[in-house]
Chain A
Amino acid sequence: MQKYAINIAFFAGCLLIVLAAQFGMVDLYVQSVIMFMGINIILSSSLNIVNGYMGEFSCGHAAFMCVGAYVSSVITVVLFAQNKIFGAPILPPDMAVFFMPLAILAGGVVAALVGILVAVPSFKTRGDYLAIITIAVNYMVISGIENLEIIGGSRGFMGMKQVVYAMGDVVDIPWMMIWTILGTVFTIWIIRRFVSSTYGKGISAICQDEIAAEIMSVNTNKMKLVAFMLSSGLAGVAGGLFAHVIGYVNPQSFNILKSTECMVMVYLGGMGSLSGSVLSAVLFTLLLEALRPLQIVKWVIIPLILVLLMQFRPEGILGNKELSDVFPRLKRYFRFK
């Protein structure tokens, strides 16, 4: 029973959030912060696969988020909403409830395919050369979408709110909150399974010593391909959620600054620590919102806090440990690895 205690507590917590949102106990602002927290958790933990567990240095994570956001938005808008270019909805809008997770997953799948663009060069290239490839991919994706007039180019793309309303018309519950929480739980679950599987051991081996891993019969190319695709696919899921929460996407929302934020969250939490990533994503989102009243000074204080933190804990909040390593008593309730 103890083994499931945390799981049960966790699901109770999620249910509580959804219920609180449903009955207006927390206001929309707090709800929106919670949703962005979920999206940030997905982003940081998915980037942690590549930058933490595999020890590569990818700085273009926002590119995959962008692809996922656009693909899932286009799918839902074409299927369920009236749009200037794509015309009337193809399916009755009520069905959005069932297709929503599929559309977001489809965004993730396409983002994973774009991830190959980075994965294949990584067979030959390592370290800082790979960093450049990821930055270049980020620039290319943004530039490509700016030139795609059919999805709005630099004007951005909208219409996702109609789909969200259509879901609300079927059953009036906070749908986006539910999808975000499900997406976050799915991400954490899949990453946790992944890193404790053979693949996870494989990418840890690549992180330690690529050549030695190769000799020990780890198929490094396959490992890298899978890791990159999983990481970028999950970023695509985050993008799909982001697009539907905001109801509008613009290529410039996914520029190198967004990638920088993802990186900060990973290294703040600690490389190769899943609970660290989750913790730092939550802290980072809260910090961003809590320091709002400072206006300009906020963006001096936040980096300063991070620099100071690095001075005292140069391995991030949790280092490469999990929460259960820091507080061994937790192991009784939950195994983090």
Chain B
Amino acid sequence: MLAGCGGGDSDTIKIGFNIPMTGDIPKVGEASKYAAEMLKEDINSKGGLEVGGKQYKLEFVYEDNESKAESAVNAALKLIEQDQVVAIIGPNSSKQAVPAGGTCNDNRVPMISPWSTNPDTTKDRPWVFRAAFLDPFQGPVAVNFSAKQFGAKTAAVLFDISNDYSKGLAEIFRDEWNKKFGDGAVVAFESHGTKDQDFSAQLTKIVSAKPDFIFLPDNYNQVALIIKQAHDLGWNGPFMGSDAWGSAELMTLCGDDCKGQFFSTHYAAAGAKGDTKVFIDRYTEKYGYTPDDVAALTWDATRLVLQAIQDAGSIDSDVRKERKAIRDSLAAVKQFAGVTGNMKFDAQGDPIKCAVVVRIDENGQFVFAESVCP
């Protein structure tokens, strides 16, 4: 599975993946790995990636970062120093992406985090990019959409305090909502811990505050439990979610309770067209479930790197020069058509792309409701 140390031979391109296969979120690592494997087989079965008239085979190296910050740094260093990769995809969550981004930037290796939403990951780091949109963009999307869709004046928020993604989004949402409807328009602002399974106390507080809807920027597994428990407590109002809902597992876990809810995400799986649909169908056929946003974002991030390699025009046998070439052409990417939509990059290496609001319909499909572009 892993090739020997040192530089590979000249006909292969080595890309590293720094992903969580164990720890808190193994599913995320699995989805990333599956998407990458699919892409690799695609390209290698056609003879490899064509750069400057020559075919290069791809070689992907997967390192488990165990969902730990120190392990992510070590994994990044191992990929850089021992495996001599030309670029790194991942880590996914910000807890690992921020320190690993620092490591990659110091060692001048291009890194793309598919999923991290913390601004610090890419800030002042010319070698670090990301494929996901940032919280400061997604928050207002949720605010504007739910104000219009539900005709809401008051909102309640329930978020995960140990998860910086969830917490960041919740705070941005609260500030935006209060700005729009005056202070106190967020009638309840409650939190829970990462591995909690019972949310009834928080929900009791929320339900008795009588908001017009509940904003739930949370991972899909907790979403399923929270919505069920809210219904048990007699809540019948709507929920608004964020991109972490966008997993195929959401509907298997949540069932009827989630139908009719809305969330903002990177792409709508149902009713997708073109490349996106091809990607979704093939992934579903191969691994048996609809790809979630991590899979789609990893696919995009990896394709971005490959595109950058092609744009550079030729492969330099010196790894350091090749990394520099990839970084320069990544920074020069003006427009990229990914399965999660078209994206451009700003000066910080963050993508400018549209968010989609989807509705979960009666068949459990994520149906397109609205597209919001910056």
Contacts and interface: CB of A to CB of B under 8 A. Distances in A.
B22 interface: yes
Given A247-B99, A253-B68, A154 B163 contact: yes
A172 interface: no
Which secondary structure dominates where chain B touches chain A?
Answer: helix
Interface in A139-163: 146, 153-156, 158, 161
A289 B63 CA distance: 11
A30 B77 CA distance: 9
B70 A153 contact: no
A250 B94 CA distance: 10
A252 interface: yes
B236 interface: no
Interface in A240-291: 242, 246-253, 288-289
Contacts of A295: 21-22, 62, 64
B120 A28 contact: no
Interface in A290-320: 292-293, 295-296, 298-299
A209 interface: no
Q: Which of the listed residues A155, A289, A298 has the most CB atoms from chain B within 10 Å of its own CB?
A: A155
Contacts, number: 92
Contact of B81 (A28, A146, A155, A298): A28
A29 interface: yes
B80 A29 contact: yes
A296 B162 contact: no
A299 B81 contact: no
Interface residues of A, number: 31
B74 A289 contact: yes
A295 B20 CA distance: 9
A249 B161 CA distance: 16
Closest 5 pairs (CB-CB, A-B): A27-B81, A248-B99, A29-B77, A29-B81, A155-B164
22 contacts: A28-B80, A29-B81, A36-B74, A146-B161, A153-B164, A154-B167, A156-B120, A161-B102, A246-B70, A246-B99, A247-B103, A248-B69, A248-B98, A248-B102, A249-B69, A251-B162, A252-B95, A253-B68, A293-B1, A295-B62, A296-B64, A299-B22
Given A28-B81, A32-B73, 6 more contacts: A29-B81, A161-B102, A248-B69, A248-B102, A252-B95, A296-B26
